[in-house]
């Protein structure tokens, strides 16, 4: 694997996906970022087995390849680089990072050990304004509380219909509810039926943090046991959370 990408763009991608990388003694691969060069894109991915985040951006790909790298070390080194072109080159099981007069070598790990982030089998999808959706979600996300006795109050309950979105959260004492009545753009006619699900609070907060200040339309895709949120942030990069 060998590719060239701007430091600013690489830093942005790492900052998005590293949010859910966790310190795990039983599954140390969860501490890592999956780094993949394919076709004309650099792909980054992380997962905590409940949430998966993917990000990809245009890059100059000289050789395709894939490796997993410890997220914290990768992020720290890249953040201190100047905003110039960064070269990532896989040599054996190590990733060589070069930028002007800076160079470091990071030990990589077998990408086959990285958990598979399943592709969603789309049952329906809609487009909503990213900022408005996240503002509404932010108003009620903190009401939900972690509970093993009542897992249903640990997240935000969503109802998606053709012409409105309703979200609600409770801690058994308080109830917060938000309803959007707007002209939803529906790329799939299957949204004529109702979709309901409970989104874990952690996932809701990641959606707010990643998409809350972004302009554009947030695409939400549904399947029987998964939901996917994605937004083209710019012409050259793309984040996705499910």
Residue, of 224 and 40, whose pLDDT is higher: 40
Could you give the C-alpha distances from 68 to 30, 37, 115, 138, in angstroms and in order? Answer: 10, 12, 11, 33
Tens-digit pLDDT profile for residues 156-204: 999 988 778 899 999 989 999 999 876 555 554 546 678 889 999 999 9
At residue 14, the pLDDT reads 96
Report the percent of the chain where pLDDT is more than 70. 91
Within 8 A by CB and 6+ apart from 229, the residues are: 207, 211, 218, 219, 220, 240, 241, 242
Within 8 A by CB and 6+ apart from 79, the residues are: 11
At residue 182, the pLDDT reads 63
Q: Bin 209: left if φ > 0, else alpha if -120 < ψ < 50, else beta.
A: alpha
Tens-digit pLDDT profile for residues 55-105: 999 999 999 999 999 999 999 999 999 999 999 999 999 999 999 999 999
Give CATH superfamily name and number for 2-113.
Answer: DNA Polymerase III, subunit A, domain 2 (3.10.150.10)
CA distance 182 to 130: 13
The lowest-confidence range among 3-17, 100-114, 134-148, 215-229 is: 215-229
Residue 234: pLDDT above 80?
Answer: no
Residue 146: band (very low, low, confident or very high) from pLDDT cuts 50, 70, 90:
confident
At residue 174, the pLDDT reads 93
User: What is the Cα 142 distance to its own chain's centre?
Assistant: 20
Tokens of 35: 């780094």
- Would the CATH topology of 2-113 be identical to that of 124-241? yes
Q: What is the mean pLDDT of residues 1-21?
A: 93
At residue 85, the pLDDT reads 96
Options 3.30.70.1380, 3.10.150.10, 3.90.180.10, 3.10.20.30; CATH of 124-241: 3.10.150.10
At residue 191, the 3 state secondary structure works out as helix
Domain ranges of the chain: 2-113, 124-241
Count of residues for the chain? 242
Tokens of 177: 């509810």
At residue 76, the pLDDT reads 94
User: How much is the mean pLDDT over the chain?
Assistant: 88
At residue 68, the pLDDT reads 96
Residue 29: pLDDT above 50?
Answer: yes
At residue 188, the pLDDT reads 47
Q: What is the mean pLDDT of residues 204-225?
A: 88
């Amino acid at each position: 694997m060998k590719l060239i990408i701007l430091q600013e763009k690489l830093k942005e991608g790492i900052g998005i996906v590293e949010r859910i990388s966790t310190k795990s003694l039983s599954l140390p691969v969860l501490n890592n970022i999956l780094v993949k060069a394919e076709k004309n894109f650099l792909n980054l991915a992380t997962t905590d087995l409940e949430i998966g985040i993917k990000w990809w951006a245009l890059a100059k790909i000289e050789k395709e390849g894939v490796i997993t790298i410890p997220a914290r070390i990768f992020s720290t080194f890249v953040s201190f680089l100047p905003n110039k072109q960064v070269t990532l080159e896989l040599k054996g099981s190590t990733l060589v990072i070069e930028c002007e007069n800076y160079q470091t070598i990071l030990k990589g790990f077998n990408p086959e050990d990285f958990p598979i982030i399943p592709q969603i089998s789309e049952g329906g999808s809609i487009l909503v304004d990213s900022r408005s959706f996240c503002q509404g979600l932010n108003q009620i996300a903190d009401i939900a509380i972690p509970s093993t006795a009542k897992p249903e109050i640990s997240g935000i309950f969503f109802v998606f219909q053709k012409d409105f979105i309703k979200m609600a959260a409770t801690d058994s004492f308080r109830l917060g509810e938000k309803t959007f009545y707007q002209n939803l753009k529906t790329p799939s006619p299957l949204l004529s039926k109702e979709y309901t699900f409970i989104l874990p609070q952690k996932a809701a907060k990641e959606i707010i943090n990643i998409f809350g200040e972004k302009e554009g339309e947030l695409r939400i895709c549904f399947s029987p046991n998964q939901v996917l949120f994605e937004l083209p942030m710019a012409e050259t990069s793309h984040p996705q959370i499910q």
